[in-house]
Amino acid sequence: MKTPTAIGLLVLSLVILSVASCAQDENPPAPGFNEEDSDARAIELADAVMRAMGGRDAWDQTRYLTWNFFGVRRHVWDKHTGDLRVDWADRETGAAYVVLMNLDSGEGSVYEDGREITDEEVIQARLDFARTAWINDSYWIFMPYKLKDTGVTLTHIGTRDTAAGESAEVVQLTFEGVGETPENKYHVYIDPDSKLVVQWDFFARYDDQSPALSTPWTNWEQYARIMLSDDRGNGRRHSEVAVADEIDRSVFADPAPIEIAELFGPQR
């Protein structure tokens, strides 16, 4: 047997560093991601999940997305500009609301049963509601794309069985100084073969020992460049899921009823 030379070891080290660098470059963290306290295996799994769903470039290029959050409310979102439309019906009064706003500026207009609301306090309350709803509802469908977001710390906590009895690698997400509930914690279960998320456990507080909620992530499907999962079990399912590069932008200015199939076109 030949002993590895110093030059050979140097070349091998450079190759390993180059591979690691390429993996990071293909899915760079958001500014403020806690890379220092996140462990290497958890970051590696987060990058593998992104690749399995189509890759970071595909996610970044994706512009228009829509989904109906469990039949409660529907979002149409321009990911590039922050323009958002939210439609819902009040469960008590049956009134139909439409909010047209920009997530970055926080400005927008509110309509009730087709009539624009002019009361400033009511407008602000509805805008705040729509933004909070978007934060919650978007996480329930896009969370796997946000594993390296600002304020997130990732920890690999080993291999566990899902509620369905399948083995999965589990990554813990904790948060600092971001979102409306930074005290939350998630355990994200990743299939060892497909590298897709198959379950999450939600903890109301980072120091809780038992999850407040646990749901599957199933029915992964291709939408344009990316993959999305719409089924969270027990009848909780996103509907009207669609992705497009171009849509009629009047949807963000006109509160008139819309047809998602017509607006976004065929998906598969």
Q: What pLDDT band is residue 69 in, cutting at 50, 70 and 90?
A: very high
User: What is the residue extent of each domain of the chain?
Assistant: 34-264
Quote the pLDDT of residue 4: 45
Is 78 in a helix, a strand, or coil?
strand
CATH of domain 34-264: 2.50.20
Interval 142-170: pLDDT, tens: 999 999 999 999 999 999 999 999 999 99
Phi/psi for 232 (5° steps) reads: -115, 15
| Tens-digit pLDDT profile for residues 222-259 | 999 999 999 999 999 999 999 999 999 999 999 999 99
What is the C-alpha to C-alpha distance for residues 113 and 256, in angstroms, rounded to an integer? 10
pLDDT tens digits for range 181-219: 568 899 999 999 999 999 999 999 989 999 999 999 999
Give the rounded distance of the alpha carbon of 109 from its chain centre.
Answer: 25
Which helix or strand (DSSP H or E) is residue 169 part of? strand 167-175
The closest of 84, 163, 171 to 131, measured between CA atoms, is 84
* Res. 109 pLDDT band, cuts 50 70 90: very high
What is the mean pLDDT of the segment spanning 58-87? Answer: 98
The three-class DSSP label of residue 10 is: helix
The confidence score (pLDDT) of residue 22 equals 47
Question: Is pLDDT at 3 greater than 70 in this prediction?
Answer: no
For residue 98, pLDDT over 60 is answered with yes
Lowest mean pLDDT among 7-21, 27-41, 152-166, 196-210: 7-21
For 172-178, the CB contacts below 8 A with 24+ separation are: 172/42, 173/147, 174/206, 175/151, 176/34, 176/151, 177/151, 178/32, 178/149, 178/150, 178/151, 178/152
pLDDT at residue 79 is higher than 50:
yes
Taking the model in full, what pTM does it have?
0.89
Q: E-strand spans in 94-134?
A: 96-102, 108-112, 115-116
